[in-house]
Structure 1
Amino acid sequence: MEALKIGDLIVKQPIVQGGMGIAISLSGLASAVANAGGIGMISAAGIGMGQPDYMKNFKGANIRALQQQIRRAKSLTNGAIGVNVMMALTDHEALIRTTIEEDADLVVMGAGLPLKIPAMLAEAGLTDFRTKLVVKVSSGKAAKLIFQSWASKYQRIPDAVVVEGPLAGGHLGFKKSELSQEPVPLHQLVRDTVSALRPFEEQFGREIPVIAGGGIYTGHDMYHIMQAGAKAVKLGTRFVTTHECDADLAFKQSYLTCADASGIDIIDSPVGLPGRVVKSAFVEQIQRGETKPFKCAWHCLSTCNFKEAPFCIAQVLYNASQGKMDEGFAFAGTNAWRATQIESVADVMAQLVAEYELEATQAPALV
């Protein structure tokens, strides 16, 4: 297993922990993954919801909380720490600037096209920094669009790409109709993305690593997706059922209650995207059309029609992270049902590496 190299950032294990919000992956989980040799990710989505002034000053609370979480993570590890920022967040620019100002190792930007980020950073005076800029896409076509825009307008390109397939948890970058059909295999998305990036690697004279996510759960999965061209993998679901995950125990146990794949479902989120969740009484309520009245004190997601939304996605996700499963739901990938126990991050990482190495010696590559 080769180390992941993103420019001058070298990470021993090519494993990136998914940035899961709200309040699922914070400094606790991120630092544990980093200490085990991977990249630990903090989710910036709704990160300030635990701050006392969030309802009155959500932007300030988010920045303050993000600063606190990055600093705490860095105090707990010498490994790589990154931040996941959704472009759909109305304060995404402030969160990206804060990530860079706090000297995080990388920022992953998804849930939208970050076409104007280089201009925003230049306007903020952020032209010389070590934080790697990583974009998250759901297709090679989207990656090509971003790279063409950055290259032509700003004479630079992102440092790496995360391509996330339709088997991931949380909000998905696919239409619900696409998810009900035979999904595009992740290995095909990886190959398409690698191919789309090749001209930019030649133009700028450097490697652009592709990181694959969505449905990867074992070292076996990891080995074969890397044979398709990925330089690393991104796993979220696998790290939820760990002691170090920042979510409440009740949230983690919701994964353990899934007997099989039928315990996972896809819902319509108020933000206009499908979302993959663990089935629960609360999920059944919203699927029946029941509403959960709320007052929107802020417009946190640009894609949310809060005036007509049946519930506040930020609030129900935060409720779940705090263990209030009767007032929220757990986002989860397709393999969440495979979790059987709560274990340590170190054990999960060791198992992934051992499975990968065993597969590398025994199995032929997928073609």
Structure 2
Amino acid sequence: MTQTPTTHTSAPADSPRITPPLPQIIQGGMGVGISHWGLAQAVSSVGQLGIVSCTGIDNVLVRRLQDGDEGGHVRRALAAYPNQERAEKVIRMYFLESGRAPGQSYRRVPLPTVTKHGAAWELGVMGSFVEVFLAREGHSNPVGVNLLTKLQLHTVPALYGAMLAGADVVIMGAGIPREIPGVLDAFAAGGPASIKLDVKGGDAAVLTFDPAEYGLERRELKRPKFYPIVTSHILAGVLMKKASGSVEGFVIEGPTAGGHNAPPRGTPTFDESGQPIYGERDIADLDEMKKLGLPFWLAGSRATPEALQEALARGAAGIQVGTLFAYCADSGLRDDLREQVHVLTKEGGVDVYTDPLASPTGFPFKVVQVDDTLARMEQYLARPRVCDIGYLREAYAGEDGKTGLRCAAEPVDAYVAKGGKIEDTVGRKCLCNALMTDAGYAQVQKGGYVEDSLMTSGDSLNDIAAWPLGYGAEDVVEFLLGRYTPGA
């Protein structure tokens, strides 16, 4: 079962928000539906910065509706959406009062293409709106959103929906988000916004989101702060100079953080198990970061009171914490998966493998080594390859001059037919479907195959062994601030 967020007394999306000091703790924006509105709400409610993940938010929206919208949260948020006609249409299309029948597949979001993406984009706007609207209920503290830069085809509608609901901060990594500040500026001014879509072997395409095309009145919106995720002071300096608008701070993420990691700088080398080796060049120089004059937060194995105090002493505004929040009872991780991993940490530990092949993006991706998941080779090989969500597809220039989309985790023959190299398909895993499964939204494919899980975490996963089963997000905040001891 998916963790059902706790509901609080609602507050209008346009209600006044207080401007507190910078948070010492930023909750990580993790996965698909893991950093959902309930987790972000719990963290923001106690004065730190809660973050919702808007990755895959179009599918999360429609799958929640098809599962019966427990608690009525999605429909309550959609009742505040500016275009009620379109919101009600989506509810009619996807909402199932009693949820899906056993073995019934989810109705899919239409797979977007470079030129035909209107349906997916509208659901992306609504999904982000819903997530931020719900995270902001019951308190007046800031709420942020997280997106992956690599998901260029899905970025602008998600940003617009988040701003429409009043998001205060945008955090983005997995790439260099140079164009995003300009997008935020354009949306804040009430206009359309564009970004470039990288096309392998061809010229970049331009993707433009105009709210008027989606039945939304062009209007000025609050411009959120932008905190890109970087690995070095060099990249931070480049973004300050060359980004399309202002940057208000940085999250500095080290290679021990969960999810996608930046590749090591220089010629890649690997240890005996095949994991990439990181060195001194992959560690940010904090003295140089301080010279940039913007606040920054440290991420990657920082989830202790001592690490927070060290970060503050070295000039950081605080820390970003992912894994400890991801495995708490307030996150969107499936209850059975959370308990399985937590018990394993207490029974001797569980390995986290930095897999250089798993992600179709080519970025290293941390995989929790748990049985009955795609981390096991036999289950990976038994999965029928299918690409029916497509977030991690890359755009490429075809021989006919048209721009197509392909994914190294899709069926091998299809990938090769699109000009891809067969060697690039080896070891690639469908993160889109696996991460949906982690959050409780496993697709039932043709033939009855139910998508398997693939969990990620930071290298410090086994630290949760000291915590009681069922600990909450507020416990994490209190611990990091030195006011709570797990198990005491």
Q: TM-score range by the shorter chain?
A: 0.7 to 0.9
Q: Which residue of 1 aligns with 2:329?
A: 243
Other structure's SS at 1:107 match? strand
1:313 aligns with 2:431: yes
- Cα deviation 1:49-100 (Å, max 9, x = unaligned): 2314642243332221111111111113322210001111121122222222
Residue of structure 2 aligned with 1:216, choices 296, 302, 313:
302
Q: Which residue of 2 aligns with 1:333?
A: 458
1:348 aligns with 2:476: yes
Q: Which amino acid aligns with 2:56?
A: G
Other structure's SS at 1:63 match? helix
Q: In the superposition, relative to structure 1, how do residues 197 and 102 fare at CA in structure 2: closer, same or farther (>3 Å)?
A: farther
Q: Which amino acid aligns with 2:46?
A: A
Residue of structure 1 aligned with 2:179, choices 116, 126, 134:
116
Q: Which amino acid aligns with 2:464?
A: A
Distance 2:482 2:361 in 1: 39
Distance 1:109 1:172 in 2: 13
Other structure's SS at 1:48 match? helix
Q: Which amino acid aligns with 1:10?
A: P
> Larger radius of gyration, structure 1 or 2?
2
Residue of structure 2 aligned with 1:181, choices 249, 265, 277:
277
CA contact (8 A) 2:185 2:223 kept: no
Distance 2:278 2:392 in 1: 30
User: Shift in Å at residue 237 of structure 1?
Assistant: 0.5
**How does 1:272-287 map onto structure 2 within 5 Å?**
272-281=362-371, 282-286=373-377
Distance 1:255 1:265 in 2: 14
Distance 2:149 2:368 in 1: 25
Residue of structure 2 aligned with 1:229, choices 310, 315, 319:
315
1:61 aligns with 2:123: yes
Other structure's SS at 1:242 match? coil
CA contact (8 A) 2:150 2:174 kept: yes
Residue of structure 2 aligned with 1:86, choices 148, 164, 181:
148
CA contact (8 A) 1:28 1:73 kept: yes
1:141 aligns with 2:234: yes
Residue of structure 1 aligned with 2:440, choices 322, 326, 329:
322
Distance 1:344 1:18 in 2: 15
| Identical-residue share of aligned pairs (%) | 22
User: Shift in Å at residue 160 of structure 1?
Assistant: 0.7
CA contact (8 A) 2:163 2:221 kept: no
- Cα deviation 1:148-181 (Å, max 9, x = unaligned): 103xxx5x43011011000001111124747643
CA contact (8 A) 1:88 1:302 kept: no
User: Shift in Å at residue 228 of structure 1?
Assistant: 2.2
Gaps of 5+ in 2: 1-17, 63-93, 95-106, 111-118, 191-219, 395-406, 413-424, 443-449
CA contact (8 A) 2:299 2:321 kept: yes
Q: Which amino acid aligns with 2:354?
A: I
**How does 1:28-39 map onto structure 2 within 5 Å?**
28-39=38-49
CA contact (8 A) 1:250 1:323 kept: no
Q: Which amino acid aligns with 1:247?
A: L
CA contact (8 A) 1:292 1:311 kept: no
- Cα deviation 1:4-54 (Å, max 9, x = unaligned): xxxx94347510000011110111000000112210000011122231464
TM-score normalised to structure 1 length: 0.81
Report the structure, 1 or 2, having the larger helix content.
1
Of 156-165 and 317-326, the range deviating more from structure 2: 317-326
Q: Which amino acid aligns with 1:211?
A: W
Q: In the superposition, relative to structure 1, how do residues 288 and 49 fare at CA in structure 2: closer, same or farther (>3 Å)?
A: closer
Distance 2:254 2:226 in 1: 20
1:266 aligns with 2:276: no
Distance 1:182 1:116 in 2: 28
CA contact (8 A) 2:36 2:52 kept: yes
Other structure's SS at 2:127 match? helix
Other structure's SS at 1:49 match? helix
Q: Which residue of 1 aligns with 2:58?
A: 48
CA contact (8 A) 2:32 2:56 kept: yes
1:16 aligns with 2:26: yes
Distance 2:186 2:476 in 1: 42
CA contact (8 A) 1:261 1:334 kept: no
Q: Which residue of 2 aligns with 1:5?
A: none
Q: In the superposition, relative to structure 1, how do residues 121 and 54 fare at CA in structure 2: closer, same or farther (>3 Å)?
A: farther
Q: In the superposition, relative to structure 1, how do residues 323 and 68 fare at CA in structure 2: closer, same or farther (>3 Å)?
A: closer
CA contact (8 A) 1:261 1:335 kept: no
Distance 1:95 1:327 in 2: 26
Distance 1:137 1:315 in 2: 27
Gaps of 5+ in 1: 1-7, 202-207, 357-367
